[in-house]
A and B are shown apart, each in its own frame.
Chain A
Amino acid sequence: MVIGEAAIRAGCRFYAGYPITPQNEIPEYMAEHLRQVEGGVFIQSESEVAAIHMVAGASAAGARSMTSSSSPGISLKQEGISSLAACQLPAVIVNMMRGGPGLGNISPSQGDYFQATRGGGHGDYRVIVLGPATAQEMADLTMDAFTLADQYRTPVMILADGMMGQMMEPVVFKEPQPRVYPEIYIMKGAGAGKSKFIRGLILDPLDMEEHNWTLDRKYQVIARKETRHELYGTDDAELILVAYGTGARIAKGAIKRLRNTGLKVGLFRPITLWPFPTNELRDLAKKVENFLVFELSTGQMLEDVRLALQGFARIGFHGRPGGVVPTPAELANVVTRQYDRKQGIIEHH
């Protein structure tokens, strides 16, 4: 609901979605409220594939567009996300992750990290991935997602999970930024002007190569400029937990417990999952030697942390896949088991 309201306030005027738990609150909210704003169109599509492609059409026609789904539905949408990236069309995609693989279950999980941060569909492309951890951040990042999507003409994904989707917290909506999107990219009938075309099929290998490099240059700019992260109690920390989204919330609870016992633990929370804040994390390794990655998966973000820290630090890991949400107490216990003041992280990953 927060996402729906934030999207409408940010100027989203087209939403297409399909029923899947645990994200039905978004289409239901949009069904009621998007139609009440001027020019707002809500469509419940006949399938996930149709929804993402309707978003592509609406985006090409110049509307701020959004779709949402949960893990299995996002898998179905990948063809559309790949072509949005290829056609350089802005769009916002919300993924309320649930347990997988397959239909899995409907409990909170973080098993789609790979899919989201590596592009997800076929071809050489990336999607900007934002990982909110509070309802407030869901509102803020949804608004930012539309701005980023327009600015870089690329699909942006909000990666949250079933727990974030069902959470209740007070939210203050910020003032939305006015939209900057050159008319040259909008298809609206040739009329007196020049005709435009949008395509994702480029048969000539040399042309296609050029297109790939163009996209890559754009992704490099994003990677340089758009990383976001949060530091929590890292100033005096001897051990740093790395977690995002719901995982980071649990980690904060665990850190409070551990600090009460005298163990100085901090948190590094990536907010952009792609681009991953690699340099910022590596900077921390200059003064801290031990890191512990915590995820609601079998270890996906762990790979990005390894790429950032390999050789610089000792990395431990704790994961609970399949929709299990552990308590902060469990995580605190894991930390005391895996971390020894003299030896550092005992099980090095």
Chain B
Amino acid sequence: MNTAMNHPKSIIENFDLYAPKLVSKEEFFSPGHRACQGCGEALAIRLMCKALGKDTVITNATGCMEVISSLYPTTAWTLPWIHVAFPNAAAVGSGVEAGLTALRRKGKIADRRVKSVAIGGDGGTMDIGFQALSGAMERGHDMLYVCFDNEAYMNTGIQRSSGTPFLASTSTAPAGKKIPGNQVWKKNMAEIMVAHNLPYVATASPSYPLDFMKKVKKARRIKGPSYIHCLVTCPTGWRSASETCIKLGRLSLETGIFPLYEVEDGKYRLTVEVPEKRRPVQDYVKGQGRFRHLTPDQIQVIQERVDIEWETLMIKVNCSKSREELRAVREK
């Protein structure tokens, strides 16, 4: 796709075209780890680390990323990295933040801002780690939580999670003659985080790397809790070809299944334009083995849901106001 064609403004004005050259060349998530071919999550973590920079402590919930990056005695991490258990990345991350604050206050460490960043998969964030995440966000720690959502427990063998899409086939929600895969709709985690009144919530995808990195940088800058929900392709679990990793991420946006937006201080904004005429869900579904069993009728059910979700989001994008704007109105 020719980006210049889609942006009628002159190329010089379009900073995004030149931005890749400004991305740090330093690698904080080194190559040589054991991720599968075409792993969207490993790619996303690499980009995230580049955007975060050195002054970062990463807390990792159990999942593929911990296993592939830290097989003893090697490690892919050049940033400080701690891994504890499955349900508690957000709790440990908030402990890291509180500990650093205490030491800084006592003058025991240099007075510079070190960001505590907790990361987890969809299971570790939306299921077992949900309680700890809600608590950490509610307490208002100066930390960032990034959920890398590949829509099932891929590390243990593709069991369904509350991030698994409707009708996808997994090992604990197998598609059979009577029950065609997962029977419930995907939990909308970004919305749940918006309901925590966070200063910054965003959705992201490594298929739009600059958008993702911009969001991470913004979240890093913001003082207080922030949350990024990153949809990542898993060729192993989605039963898709490895080389379609980036393409599937783009399709998820172009079909409107996973729009990229940010919510700053309560105000919604689309960060990557979605084509006026969205592509049909069919285009996204067809390359993935986990949806292979779907009938046209079932795809239509998904299409309707996607349409409604999209319209709901557009209402929010068009009508929502930030808290500051609302305060300004009151002061008049």
Residues of A near any B CB (own CB < 8 A)? 18-21, 24, 27-28, 31-32, 35, 42, 44, 46-48, 72, 76, 102-103
Contact = CB atoms under 8 A, between A and B. Distances in A.
Interface stretch (B171-179, B196-204, B309-317): B171-179
B173 A46 contact: no
B145 interface: no
Contacts of A24: 156-157, 159, 171
Nearest to B86: A72
B159 A28 contact: yes
Given A19-B153, A46-B127, A47-B128, A27 B172 contact: yes
B123 interface: yes
A20 B127 contact: no
A19 B62 contact: no
Interface in B238-293: none
A21 B156 contact: yes
B87 A47 contact: yes
Interface of B: 62, 83-87, 123, 127-128, 130, 153, 155-157, 159-160, 162, 171-174, 176, 179
B171 A31 contact: yes
A44 B85 contact: no
A44 B160 contact: yes
Nearest to B160: A44
Given A27-B172, A28-B171, A76-B87, A20 B130 contact: no
14 contacts: A18-B128, A19-B157, A24-B159, A24-B171, A27-B159, A28-B157, A28-B159, A44-B159, A46-B130, A47-B127, A72-B85, A76-B87, A103-B62, A103-B83
Nearest to A18: B128
Nearest to B129: A47
Contacts of A21: 155-157
Contacts of A76: 87
Contacts of B155: 21
Contacts of A72: 85-86
Contacts of B123: 19
Contacts of B160: 44
Contacts, number: 50
Given A72-B85, A72-B86, A46 B162 contact: yes
A19 B159 contact: yes
A82 to B, nearest CB: 18
Contacts of A102: 84-85
A345 B61 CA distance: 46
Contacts of B176: 32
Contacts of B84: 102
Contacts of A18: 128
Contacts of A42: 172
Given A20-B156, A21-B156, A47-B128, 5 more contacts: A19-B156, A27-B159, A27-B172, A44-B173, A103-B83
Nearest to A102: B85
A102 B173 CA distance: 29
A46 B128 contact: yes
A31 B174 contact: yes
A28 B158 CA distance: 10
Contacts of A35: 179
B127 A103 contact: no
Contacts of B87: 47, 76
Nearest to B72: A105
Contacts of A44: 159-160, 172-173
A35 B130 CA distance: 28
A243 to B, nearest CB: 28
A125 to B, nearest CB: 25
Contacts of A48: 128
A103 B85 contact: yes
Contacts of A46: 127-128, 130, 162
Contacts of A31: 171-174
B179 A19 contact: no
Contacts of B153: 19
Contacts of B85: 72, 102-103
Nearest to A21: B156
A20 B85 CA distance: 12
Contacts of B173: 31, 44
Contacts of B172: 19, 27-28, 31, 42, 44
Contacts of A32: 174, 176
Q: What 6 pairs between A and B have smallest CB-CB spacing? A: A19-B156, A46-B127, A47-B128, A19-B159, A31-B172, A19-B153
A31 B170 CA distance: 10
A317 to B, nearest CB: 27
B206 to A, nearest CB: 24
B127 to A, nearest CB: 4
A28 B156 CA distance: 11
Contacts of B127: 46-47
Contacts of B179: 35
B129 to A, nearest CB: 9
Most buried by B among A19, A42, A47, A76: A19
Nearest to B83: A103
A271 to B, nearest CB: 30
A72 B128 CA distance: 13
B90 to A, nearest CB: 14
A22 to B, nearest CB: 9
A19 B153 CA distance: 7
A67 to B, nearest CB: 14
A27 B173 CA distance: 10
A18 B171 CA distance: 12
A5 B84 CA distance: 34
A35 B177 CA distance: 13
Contacts of A19: 123, 153, 156-157, 159, 172
B131 to A, nearest CB: 8
A21 B86 CA distance: 13
